[in-house]
Amino acid sequence: MHLTGSLPGTEVRVRFSKAVSLWAVFGIALCAQGQSARVSAALAAMQRGDLSAAEQNLRAASDPEATEILAVVLDQEKKFGEADGLYRKALARDPRSAALLHNYSNHLTAMGIALSQQRRFDEAQAAFDRALEVVPEDWNLLYSAGLAASHAGHNERARELLQKAVDRAPDNPNALYDLAVVNLALGQQARAFELASEAFQIAPSVPEISKLYAETASDRGDYDEAAKGWERYVRAFPKDEIAKRELAFSRSVAGQSSDDALRSLNAFVSRHPEDAVALYELGAAESAGAPDSALKHLNQALAMRPDLTSAYVARGLLLYRQSKADVAAEDFKLAAAREPDNARVLDRLGQAYTAIDKPQQAVLVLQRAASLAPGDSGILLHLARALSKAGDLEQSKTVFAQVRELEAKRSNKRLAMTN
């Protein structure tokens, strides 16, 4: 899913058409002296928007500049293949022409946009990459190239390009959103949440942003923040039953209006008794107040969906709170086997290992979790405790110091935002 306007071709298409018009004006001035009747007629036709007449006159002209002007006309007519050949021919004659290089980059950008609209994302990315060789710092181009790479499934390249776009425009919510989506695809949940959080602060009323923020906050177990995102999303789509269920779930787990939230979840399950996710969420919401009912609903969810990782985690947490860390560890292990790059799951497994006196295993698991979610102070705190229990006191002190430093930075950032 993408924000309205964040698909390739929106901002860039406007920029391209303006650039072509400017080039045409430049071309008229450039060719005012000694131009042939054919080129004069073509330029006049371009000014009045008659591209067919302009093309006919330019094909019949023998002037050297006719090739470059014809390439611009062909771009306007979306005849990109032939235009590309003409640009290359012109660049072979004059490889350092600033005007020609500028128009060639616009040509490649327009070609990338057209290919993206046809969902030919691999070819679009190739066109954008060629354009970036000419104008490597162009923001619109970096952003569009990043989106094309993302759609083509080239997520590492997409992250590289979109990160450059965000570095140049850190307050652009579209770029932050799309970079967050790519990081999610790469399994970088912590970074995705950070980016979604920044986008949400800038544009909380944009439904796609509020939904992504809610989902990434929920993945972290931060249900207070997830509820904020779902509230905004439900405000935009009040008839979305799934979103309302997610809002009720987040509120219930966070202890916000928990009775009303539980009633909403129970009502949803009554309407959809075969919905495994709803059963899991009801079970997770009941964990604190009705553990027996919670366990029943979580077991039902897993009987329907043995691949539902979140239900294993919820059941493991329930058992962990009941001082059954050894049984909880088995659920966390099953979840980790299904999602080996999920830092949250590994964090839970590491805590369980620490609780059942397996600190060496806890350290290995938590080190992996920390590498997947760098900067997560909660995981680092659990790692420090496991290291201490394993007897590695020096390393434990080092990690504790990292936790204090991270918390101080977050505190300063919150203070700066309130000021």
Pick the CATH number of 1-152 from 3.30.70.980, 3.40.50.970, 1.25.40.10, 3.40.190.10: 1.25.40.10
Q: Is 3.40.190.10 the CATH number for 170-238? A: no
DSSP-assigned states of every residue in 45-78: HHHTT-HHHHHHHHHH---TTHHHHHHHHHHHTT
Which pLDDT does position 55 carry in this prediction? 83
Asked if residue 5 lies in contact with residue 172, where contact means CB atoms within 8 angstroms, the answer is no
Q: Give the dihedral of Cα atoms 83, 87, 92, 94; nearest 10 deg.
A: 150
For 314, residues 6+ apart whose C-beta sits below 8 A from its C-beta are 280, 283, 284, 287, 298
Which pLDDT does position 41 carry in this prediction? 83
Range list for CATH 1.25.40.10 in the chain = 1-152, 170-238
**Mean pLDDT in residue range 222-245:** 95
**Mean pLDDT in residue range 336-350:** 93
The residue among 11 and 37 whose pLDDT is bigger is: 37
**Mean pLDDT in residue range 384-400:** 96
Cα-based distances in Å from 143 to 3, 107, 262: 13, 16, 43
Paired tokens of 264: 């909403």
Helix axes 98-117, 10-30, angle to 10 degrees: 150
How do residues 47-96 score in pLDDT, each as one tens digit?
778 888 888 888 877 776 777 788 788 877 788 877 777 877 777 777 77
**Mean pLDDT in residue range 16-35:** 43
Residue 372 pLDDT greater than 70, yes or no? yes
Confidence of residue 419 (pLDDT cuts 50, 70, 90): low
The residue among 214 and 35 whose pLDDT is bigger is: 214
Instruction: Give the whole-number percent of the chain exceeding pLDDT 90.
Output: 52
Residue 124 pLDDT greater than 90, yes or no? no
Q: What secondary structure letter does DSSP report for 221?
A: T
Paired tokens of 391: 């007897």
